[in-house]
Amino acid sequence: MKSASLALSLMKGRSLILSLVTLVGLAGCGSDEKEKCAFVPDTKNITIDLQWESLEDSLPAITSKEQLAGFLTRHPHIRDNFLSAGQYPSDTAFINDRFRKFTNPHIDTLLAETHRVFGKDASELKEEFRAAFANMKHYYPDFQPPKIQTIVTGFERDVYVSDSLIIIGLDYYLGAGAKYEVLNLYEYMKRRYHPGFIVPSVMLLYGIDENFNNTNPEDRTMLAEMIGYGKAYYFAKQMVPCTADSVLIGYTSEEINGSRANESLIWSRLIEDQVLFSTNTQDKQKYIIERPKTLEVGERCPGRIGQWVGWRMILNYHENHPDRTLPQIMHEYDAAKMFKESGYKPQLQQLPSRPKT
């Protein structure tokens, strides 16, 4: 699995780049639809030996540059992939800059906030990972859970994922009410960064990875990207089956309910704009790529609405092919075929005037 991060955009790379409407009748968005769990597999006979290393106290405890250099030598993935050592002109410049940051008194306050939110042993987070990994083993028996390290770096990075290692910057996920918060993120992005999003975000990264999500790199249509995203969300939902859809995709409850209530209107706009088979980057930016709103649909339409529609397509595909396992669905690479066999086709509606963009 290639390393990945969710810091600024949920999905990046290989065209899988990982967000209602002032149309008629949207104001109420319909009644609040109760979230349902996906299928919960029987994992009572699956034992997960969780490899967990709590390093959040380590950097704030550094008192010398020699100590810092020694710590980073022992943890090269933190040094290179979390702290971006390669971006510095020299090792000395890197150590000097990082030493200044990690000896700043504010780091101690940030550490205290992290302990307040997660506790000293992060027991709840550990259990969430253990449950998700057990589900992974259920669907993919050969899956070997990677080692997990937790750390506090002063908002250097949110998460790093590879085949053998997951690194989590706990300070990124302190949630609303924390004394410090992530800078340089829009408010609609910040709301994802709470404790309950950590495990779903990691499962989404697995769902994007080519080892699990088979896609056709030659197919550059928007439909292919929508289907790719849809498979990733579908995958993640199976790993954390009782996580709310709104949490997985980073929408508010109002946005997810508004999307459901106005699905036909969203679909009608996509059809009207003739973008499903477009390879135009601007079309993808409008409907798929990270942005606060999809203004082409409406002033309240969340961004990345094409990703959500892709998820709905995959849910339909699963309903029409109940005999196909999760690995079989994830292995299917023909997006146009999956769309056709999904039978996804909300009723088209007459659209009001296009909102101003």
Q: What is the DSSP secondary-structure string of 72-105?
A: HHH-HHIIIIIS-GGGSSSHHHHHHHHHHHHTSH
Is 123 among the domain residues?
yes
On whether residue 181 sits in a domain, the answer given is: yes
In DSSP terms, which residues pair with 165 in a beta bridge? 147
Chain-centroid distance, C-alpha 227: 16
For 264-277, b where at least 16 C-beta lie within 10 A, e where not — what string?
ebbbbbbeeeebbe
pLDDT of residue 7: 36
In a domain, 226, yes or no: no
The pLDDT assigned to 125 comes to 98
Is residue 290 over pLDDT 50?
yes
Measured in degrees and rounded to the nearest 5, phi and psi for residue 302 equal -65, 155
Domain housing 107: 52-186
Residue 244 covered by a domain:
no
Residue 34's Cβ-count burial label (10 Å; 0-12, 13-18, 19+) is exposed
73 in a structural domain? yes
Name the average pLDDT for the chain: 89
Q: How far is CA 140 from CA 204, 228, 326, in A?
A: 16, 19, 9
Q: Label residue 356 by pLDDT band (50, 70, 90).
A: low
Distances (CA, A) of 61 to 102, 202, 247: 8, 28, 34
Distances (CA, A) of 274 to 233, 270, 277: 24, 6, 7
pLDDT, tens digit (0-9, with 9 covering 90-100), for 13-50 = 333 333 333 333 333 333 345 678 999 999 999 999 99
Is residue 101 assigned to a domain?
A: yes
Burial of 309 (0-12, 13-18, 19+ CB in 10 A): buried
Could you give the number of structural domains in the chain? 1
Out of 17-26, 31-40, 70-79, 171-180, give the one with best mean pLDDT. 70-79
Residue 330 and residue 213 in contact, taking contact as beta carbons nearer than 8 Å: yes
Q: What is the pTM of this model?
A: 0.89
Assign 107 a pLDDT band (cuts: 50, 70, 90). Answer: very high
pLDDT in tens, 211-245: 999 999 999 999 999 999 999 999 999 999 999 99
Whether the pLDDT of residue 255 is over 70: the answer is yes
What is the Cα–Cα distance from 269 to 276, expressed in whole angstroms? 11
Write 71-74 long-range contacts (CB < 8 A, 24+).
Answer: 72/98
Say if 225 falls within a structural domain.
Answer: no
CA gap 343, 345 in Å, rounded: 6
pLDDT at 354: 66
Residue 292 lies in a domain: no
